[in-house]
Amino acid sequence: MRFVCTFFLTLCFNHLFAQEDKGDLFRILSDEYSALTVRYSLLREAKTEILFSTYIIKSDEIGFANLKMLVDAAHRGVQVKVILDGLGNRLPADMLLYLADQGVQVKIFNKKIWTRPATIFRRMHGKMLIVDGSLCLVGGRNIDNEYFRMDSLNNFLDREVLIRGDEAVSDACTHFNAMWNHKVICTDLKGTFNPDDRHRCDSLLKNSIGEVAHRLPLLRQVRIPDTISLNDAMRPTVNPVHFVYPEFTYRKNGRISRPSRSDRRVTRELLKLIAAADSTLDIEVAYFLPTHLWVKALRAAHRRGVRIRVITNSALSNDVPLLQAIYSNRRNRYKRAGIELYEYCGSRMVHMKALTVDRRIALIGSYNLERKSEKFNTEVAAWVDDPFLAGKQESLFEKYLVNCQPYGGECPVSPTAFSAEQKKRKKKVAWMRWTLAPIVGLVL
């Protein structure tokens, strides 16, 4: 087991850290093998500081393997700070206390209080991993098996980006530290760790990283359709990378307080990119329920002659049937706005949040086109003005189109190939379209 774990760690792309900094980096991580090995390379090679935040983290192999790397870093003397969302965190209390016992600092974002609705709706949906203030991983992937193609039934089609750039990474650190230092929104762990649990927690983490290492060769074999070549991915950008984040705190009487309304800086920045488009917009998004503001912006782009294409989930591939049902009821509205809809029919579920503008700008982040991302969640995104990298992202878009059905068209996948789980999802969406969706859709 020790040999397997060591081999797994040394597989990671160590040349990423050995190379001389020659400009900003925007490395698109579209396949799970690359995303996993780069993530653990960052954790393994950290020297001084790790800042990590995620919406969902589960008690499975990926979740525990990630914790193992964080604990190992803390043992090396690295300062490790972790922010977990109060609703999305699925780790048991004893595991969180174990992390604290091992030197990992943990805070909970907006711990849910059922009697206070604001603590339910305002979520930390942005996912970041920042190492030594020089490299930052951002995107749509949460920390559990489904996001790394290791679940037996449900797996997501997702994307992340590794960025390097003084200004971009500095902005990411600023955002993380603003959350970390906010005494109202982020709270410390409560409770005392039981030393009797230490051996059990140690074993869980060690066994999990061994299991991930065992599955890594399979991830490498199936990665080809989603892969961008290493030489292309590691090419420095021609322009600086930008990092977009919300400023969700404000000062009142000289003190930092919870804001009276959510900051919409990320929405404004994304709408600026939409407003500047003059030829094409390719959008890849898990949940496409654009608000009136977004529909207005997309309709205006269409009237300027911009071709707008959207890849989102179908009734076969979604993970939230109610949202899919509401989307299904609104498709005609989106079509009238000039939006071309393509619904994914493959075996995985779309979870990407990516935008390609004019074959020139590539953006990857955590932002869905729906009300929660616009008004409640903290979201993050990174983008760069680079035709080469935008072309690479567009090539992924074209690949996924092969497994999509245009709205009103035929599914390219034979119905006989649908799994039992896909059929179950489709039935749920069909039922909700005429029951819950018309009611819930009034507020979404």
3-state secondary structure of 125: coil
| C-alpha neighbours within 13 Å on the C-beta side of residue 91 | 33
The DSSP output letter for 224 is: G
244 and 382 Cβ atoms separated by less than 8 Å: yes
284 and 277 Cβ atoms separated by less than 8 Å: no
pTM: 0.94
pLDDT for 257 equals 53
- Separation between Cα atoms, residue 88 and residue 177, nearest integer Å: 20
17 and 102 Cβ atoms separated by less than 8 Å: no
How do 361-365 and 381-385 pair as beta strands? antiparallel
Tokens of 361: 């700008």
Query: 357-372 b/e with 16+ CB inside 10 Å = b?
Result: bbebbbbbbbbbbbbb
Handedness of CA 20, 26, 32, 38 (dihedral sign): positive
CB under 8 Å to 148, separation ≥6 — which residues?
Answer: 32, 35, 36, 62, 141, 219
Closest-CA residue to 262 (of 159, 126, 141): 126
Going from the first residue of the chain to its last (444 residues), give the mean pLDDT of each consecutive group of 10, the final group possibly shorter.
Answer: 48 48 90 96 97 98 98 98 96 97 96 71 93 98 97 95 97 95 88 95 96 94 87 93 83 52 84 97 98 97 98 97 97 97 96 98 98 92 98 96 94 89 96 96 90
CATH architecture of the domain with residue range 264-440 = 2-Layer Sandwich (3.30)
3-state secondary structure of 15: helix
3-state secondary structure of 344: strand
- Separation between Cα atoms, residue 373 and residue 14, nearest integer Å: 35
For domain 2-233, give the CATH superfamily: Endonuclease Chain A (3.30.870.10)
pLDDT for 103 equals 97
- Separation between Cα atoms, residue 82 and residue 204, nearest integer Å: 19
Rg of the chain over CA atoms, in angstroms? Answer: 21
pLDDT for 16 equals 52
Q: Tokens 């599914």 correspond to what residue? A: 411
3-state secondary structure of 272: helix
Where in the sequence of the chain do the CATH 3.30.870.10 domains occur?
2-233, 264-440
pLDDT for 15 equals 47
Burial class from Cβ neighbours inside 10 Å (0-12, 13-18, 19+) for residue 319 reads: middle
Q: Other CB atoms closer than 10 Å to residue 157's CB: what's the count?
A: 27
Give the phi and the psi of residue 385 in degrees, each rounded to 5.
-95, 95
3-state secondary structure of 111: coil
